Amino acid sequence: RPMDDEDEEQFVLTTRFCDEQGMHAEGNQKFRAVDDFTRSGVNAQTAPTEKLHCDTLDGLNEILRRLATGTKVPLSLFKTDIDSAFRRLPIRSEHRRYGHIVFKYKGDTYISLHFRQPFGSVASVHGWDRAGNLLCAIARKMLQIPLSRYVDDYYAPDRAESAKIAMDCFVRLVRACLGHDAIAEVKCG
């Protein structure tokens, strides 16, 4: 909606800019909207209570080595990617006053409210890290999938004959937790 004078008094306002992300398959420019929570001061007020953790290639290599040592059958590796991972996590209602974005369109200033974690917020990164780790822990413990995670990308080696089944089980878990559109079919392989 168009911004009015009272918005500046009620909300912490964050500006939006676009970051070039390469090219679409059709040949047109691809952009990602980034909300500048550093400039608005919101990121400076965020106090993470844990250290971010992602699995490493060394860890994935170790899983592959152990699996290869324990079996003589061909191995395979599957990969999945969560679509719009941050935006799948809600902002607490009491924190929404910090989720207002302002942007210009055809010379007029507009305001928009995020109900989900935006790209550009430190809190979004830490919130997703918790959610991503939870999905990984459930897959490892309950589904017995030797899953590795790098932000919103998941990898797992398995016997070639069962890798697709393991991937399908993980995809079903993610979709049950985050929605049916959380992983596009084209991002499974």
Whose structure tokens read 């490493």? Answer: 56
pLDDT at 49: 84
Contacts of 74 (CB under 8 A, 6+ apart): 159, 160
pLDDT at 77: 93
pLDDT at 184: 87
Q: Determine the Cα–Cα distance for residues 128 and 151; give it in Å rounded to an integer.
A: 8
Q: Determine the Cα–Cα distance for residues 110 and 130; give it in Å rounded to an integer.
A: 32
Q: Determine the Cα–Cα distance for residues 48 and 124; give it in Å rounded to an integer.
A: 11
Q: Report which secondary-structure segment, H or E, holds 166.
A: helix 163-178
> Residue 86 phi/psi, 5° resolution?
-60, -45
What is the C-alpha end-to-end distance of the chain, expressed in Å? 41
Mean pLDDT per segment of 10 residues, for the chain of length 189 residues? 92 90 89 90 88 91 88 90 93 92 92 92 92 96 95 93 94 96 86
**DSSP helix/strand/coil, 65:** helix
Q: State pTM to two decimals.
A: 0.83
pLDDT at 112: 93
